[in-house]
Chain A
């Protein structure tokens, strides 16, 4: 995957520019698209390994692009770019295999680290995954493959290795919500918050899941 090109999809020129500049040191082949339509067209031309996708775009919005890409090329990994206050459709995104998010504004280091992590994730050896972080990464890889049961196993393993991180509990909650076990999901969001009361993704998930809104979204980032 390391050698496959990366596609940046964002309607804002400054974001496209900033992403290109930030990722330059990684030596990846980069391409850009200004909207969903162009992105889908480019999919036919090149064999991308990773897409950086802004959720909030005029015209065909990010979620629609994600749906299409997920349908046409489920093998492509996706990093979703959000803005503060985005009604994030993170559970929908996760169902479609997207599990990595980054919120604007971000530093060059942040996006570089995230892209590196997603790329390295492909190379992880399951046999050697005996620590918390590797287990979480493998869980995310499984989500990318839409293998939610295996993902759940890896998250549980991660928790058993180190139960002090809120991320694992939040992730497990999200997986349970996808499965339909909403009450259990709530418990895990609460567990995440009791570990770290400032852990935003779990707070948002709990707030959403316990309010009366019909259309909720799970937050992962």
Chain B
């Protein structure tokens, strides 16, 4: 998936997406730090997960500093709250100068301004919508089903 170079990656939020990424990236040999403010979220990490786990609320600056974003190559924000993701991602990019920063953003309307601020945003809504459109374009419109 990524280059052979071993990256140091901070993943914010250990929900379904966060833990999936953490497990995969750790398995691929990268150095991973996962942070979540609920310790039970770490149960989703596989037994082979060889990275760090930190419990804490990343919107507190002191907690964010603890995971040392200045040492990270990538920060991925995957919490359930758009605004938390956008806040962490921005701080990582603009203050700690992390080379690549990604944030999951559920509401596509917020995405625009964040791209300009250097945050790569992934909107599951947009992606899902695009998938629908892609699928729709593949098949021609079928006649209405017979009653």
Contact = CB atoms under 8 A, between A and B. Distances in A.
Contacts of A110: 68, 71
A107 B33 CA distance: 9
A contact face: mostly helix, strand, loop, or mixed: helix
B51 A14 contact: yes
Interface string B46-76: 0001111010000000000011100110000
A105 B51 CA distance: 9
Contact of A107 (B8, B49, B66): B8
A10 to B, nearest CB: 12
A14 B29 CA distance: 12
Interface residues of A, number: 15
A104 interface: yes
A22 B52 contact: no
21 contacts: A14-B49, A14-B51, A14-B52, A15-B52, A17-B50, A18-B31, A18-B51, A18-B52, A21-B31, A21-B50, A22-B31, A84-B54, A84-B66, A104-B52, A105-B33, A105-B51, A105-B54, A105-B68, A107-B68, A108-B8, A110-B71
Q: Which 10 A-B pairs have the closest CB atoms?
A: A105-B52, A17-B50, A107-B8, A107-B71, A105-B33, A14-B50, A108-B31, A84-B66, A18-B50, A104-B52
